Amino acid sequence: MVGLEVLLPDEGFQDLEEDNYYVFQIIGCSVVTKSGEEVGTVTNLWLVPENDLLVVTKGKTEILIPFSHSVCLEVDLELKKIKIDPPEGLLDLNEI
């Protein structure tokens, strides 16, 4: 069974506590600033102790954004959108 995918309907997952998400729910979300500027799309989520990181891609550029309450103001799973308030310079200096 190595290398096979396991597919489950959404109903197969337990509801999580508020502000907790499954990785598959976050990947594919668009990321915009609170002023409406498009940042990119979440292509990965690095699970790092104390501060998970969104890997956001726009074109060939990847930016790491802390997945924390102070930066991520709103996560709307229905619209697949994450609204952020990045600290000054984050979007310029955090390119990988």
Domain boundaries, the chain: 22-85
Of the chain, the percentage scoring pLDDT greater than 70 comes to 95
81 to 1, 31, 32, 58, 74: CA distances (angstroms): 34, 6, 7, 15, 8
Q: φ and ψ at 11, to 5 degrees?
A: -65, -15
Which residue, 80, 73, 82, 91, is CA-closest to 28? Answer: 80
Tell me if 28 sits within 8 A of 21, measured CB to CB: no
CATH superfamily of this structure's domain 22-85: PRC-barrel domain (2.30.30.240)
C-alpha dist (Å) from residue 47 to 13, 50, 52: 20, 9, 5
Q: What's the predicted TM-score (pTM) here?
A: 0.84
- pLDDT digit string, tens, across residues 16-41: 888 888 899 999 999 999 999 999 99
